[in-house]
Structure 1
Amino acid sequence: MQRSLADSRVKFRHLQCFLAVAQFGGVQKAAESLAITQPAVSKTVAELESILGVRLFERGRHGAVPTREGQLFMPHASACVSALRQGVDLLARAEGTAAATLDLGILPTVATAVVPPALKLFQTRWPHVVVRMVTASNTELLARLKAGTIEFAVGRLADPERMIGLSFEQLYREPLIAVVRAGHPLSTGAAPPAALLERFMVVLPPFGTLIRQSAESLLTAWGAPPLSSFVEMLSVSVGRALTLENDAVWFVPFSAVEYDLSRGELVRLPLPFAGTEEPVGLILRTDTQPSAAARALIDAVRNVTRQRIAPAVDKTRSPKRRRAAP
């Protein structure tokens, strides 16, 4: 088929359905996200495959996986959809008929420290913007970013193969710590024996996340025995409730509980070693540019982390470590 003819037949709905199926790995969830029927999604993707003359997905028991051709087409489809949305938002904002929209993703363990001050700074310059925020695991944020459903993410540096097509700008390095409620039996002046951990609920990041690896390193360095039971989650609100009400020992990034630590509601366990640190940063696509509103919020995130969060995290390190840093 001639390229000019194919170009004229590809519609916005084709790109939307293609990107949704690629993001969610199947027709059912893609249909739910687009608020249309499954047959409509399947028909639209089939139309696009017919127009392009290639198969875009391998379909099987595990859902729909992009083919080589689908992977090649994905960044261009995403850039097209993103550019159209940005143009519509800018026109609507210029005419005063509607607010601009901004879609971003952020880790739930980072959001509580970054979002409030960053949005406060952002809204002084962009008061008429609808901010749609997704909090999810790092893996899901990267998938959404590649699919073009968010403009940027605040997350952690992943394995090289998962960062293909993405850029990472480090904002700060954050330690994982263990916290308990004030007055908890383990919150003594000295480092508690690791064997006592078996008496309490332990809350860990989900398996497969970078901070779970840090938690396991902490437990090993502490000399803790294998855990017979524990709770896995990323939710900061539920982790906080379990720590305050169920006497849980919570392994969590420092910035997620900085406010509770400053108020004395939670206490950092005085473990006899330093926790491992993971880089937190801005993640963007390399094949497209963020909108003006997104650039403004990115600048706000940079300012907040540089002026408030990074210095607060740095205080958690020992004086010896700070002197050794370059």
Structure 2
Amino acid sequence: MSIPPRPASPSAASDRFVRSHLKMRHLILLVELGRHASIVTAAKAARLTQPAASRLISDLEHVLGVQLFERLARGVVPTWSGKMLIRRAGVALAEMDAAHLEIAQLLSGLGGKVEIGSVLTPAAAILPKAITLFKSRFVDANVAVDFSTSDAMVERLLDGRLDLVLGRILDTANVPLLDFEPITDEVHHIVVRPGHPLARRTDLGLAELARQSWIVPPAGSILRDRLTALFLSEGLSPPTDTVETLAIPLIVPLLSSTDMVVALPQELVQAYLDSEQLALLPFDLGLRMDAYGIITRRGHVLSPGAEGMLRALRETIAADPALRRHRLKSTPE
């Protein structure tokens, strides 16, 4: 009796798929299909004919044994497997783009490019010092900084469009894909203009604060949700007289010219507190955010420039006594 051949191991099958079946034109087409819900449009962007693009998709589906796209009357929609493959294709092309850029910059004598994403607090307290230190070592390097929400920046990091992120990992599904070096959490204070009617009050309560005009972050943000939960936990309705913004250049003049209040980390407005343009209310919100930190892709080899920026960030954090104290206070005993 003949013995049937043993099925290939997952790693062997994966290796064969990558080395024998997957081609650069597959990657390019997948990325374009992620951008355009149309085979015709994606094929044109990938410089392929529509029949050739359809054959490439069918080839991938046959080799993988899964459906990658649902064919609809008005185009195609990626399945879960299709979405996963599109993301990985985007990362692979981004890596090749980065390699080409690094080689070109090395040949031209430039120092490379580092792309960083950051939430607001480390951008004010850490990033300027780290960039200054980095530029003292990589004079010709270009540093690009993006400000957004942690979720959006982690997505860009996973897609290969950012080298480092200073932020939080909010989606637990991404934890196995990322490395996280915690820096500190954020204590939020009530910030107002000097001379605010509540500035000298020592008997403030949450009920009175709920009646104030507030500057709040957009709905759906962590801080907005936690502020809302704080008021609701005390049986209070959240403030209704609000302005939604995260922009410090708008928040400062609004506070200076009105009796509005805002909850912010002290680090973000320290310069305005030192110059007495703003003041803190003597009220403890008891509001702390999850720790933010340095986020990188697990298993990813950073470019020399990105590795230099990571080193500069670590040195800046280690040299900051306030951050060291914060981290000690935040560490459970």
Whether the TM-score (by the shorter chain) exceeds 0.5 is yes
Over 3 Å counting, the alpha-carbon distance change for 1:172 and 1:135 in structure 2 is same
Q: Is the contact between residue 109 and residue 235 of structure 1 (CA under 8 Å) also seen in structure 2?
A: no
- Where does residue 300 of structure 1 map in the other structure? 312
Residues 275-318 of structure 1 show CA distances to partners (whole Å, capped at 9, x for unaligned) of 32420101111242221111111222222233337438739xxx
Return the alpha-carbon distance in structure 2 between the equivalents of residues 297 and 211 of structure 1: 28
* Cross-structure match for 2:41: 39
RMSD, aligned CA? 3.7
Taking the aligned partners of 2:76 and 2:192, their CA distance within structure 1 comes to 43
Counterpart in 2 of 1:201?
213
In the alignment, residue 184 of structure 2 is paired with which amino acid? Answer: Y
SS at match of 1:206: coil
Query: 1:49 is matched with which residue?
Result: 57
Alignment match, 2:132? 120
Could you say which residue in structure 2 is the equivalent of 1:31? Answer: none
SS of alignment partner, residue 293 of structure 1: helix
| Post-superposition offset of 1:14 | 3.9
Closer/same/farther in 2, CA of residues 141 and 162 from structure 1, 3 Å limit: same
Q: Once the two structures are aligned, what percentage of the paired residues are identical? A: 24
* Corresponding residue SS for 2:57: helix
Is the CA contact (8 Å cut-off) linking 1:175 and 1:278 kept in structure 2? no
How far off is 1:6 after superposition? 4.2
Q: Which residue of 1 aligns with 2:263?
A: 251
Amino acid at match of 1:80: A
Looking at structure 2, the residues matched to 206 and 304 of structure 1 have their Cα atoms a distance apart, in angstroms, of 31
Report if aligned partners of 1:221, 1:273 keep a CA contact under 8 Å in 2. Answer: no
Instruction: Classify 1:66/1:167 alpha carbon distance in 2 versus 1 (closer, same or farther; 3 Å).
Output: farther
Aligned to 1:34: none
Match of 2:192 among 180, 186, 192: 180
Q: Is 1:156 the counterpart of 2:171 in the alignment?
A: no
Once the two structures are superposed, what CA deviation does each residue of 1:244-280 show, in whole Å capped at 9, x if it has no partner?
Answer: 2333211122322232223322212211453324201
Counterpart CA distance in 2 for 1:15 and 1:323 is: 44
Matched with 2:202 is 190
SS of the residue corresponding to residue 22 of structure 2 reads helix
Q: 2:293 aligns with which of 277, 281, 293?
A: 281
1:261 aligns with: 273
Tell me the TM-score normalized by structure 1.
0.76
**Mind listing any 5+ residue stretches in structure 2 that lack a counterpart?**
1-15
Shift of 1:124: 0.6
How far the C-alpha of 1:122 sits from its partner, in A, is 0.8
CA–CA distance in structure 2, aligned partners of residues 282 and 224 of structure 1: 36
Aligned to 1:7: 22
**Whole-Å Cα distance in 2 between the matches of residues 66 and 169 of structure 1?**
34
How far, CA to CA, are the matches of 1:11 and 1:98 in structure 2?
A: 32
- Secondary structure of the equivalent of 1:10? helix
Instruction: Give 3-state SS (helix, strand or coil) of 1:281's partner.
Output: strand
Post-superposition CA distance 1:164-195 (Å, at most 9, x none): 52222101122122211122112115142434
2:82 alignment counterpart: 70
Distance 1:311 1:149, change over 3 A: closer
The CA distance in 2 between the partners of 1:104 and 1:188, in whole Å, is 41
- Number of aligned residue pairs: give it: 304
Any conservation in 1 of the 2:198–2:281 contact (CA below 8 Å)? yes
Give how far 1:127 is off: 1.1
In 1: Cα distance, 2:77 partner to 2:213 partner: 39
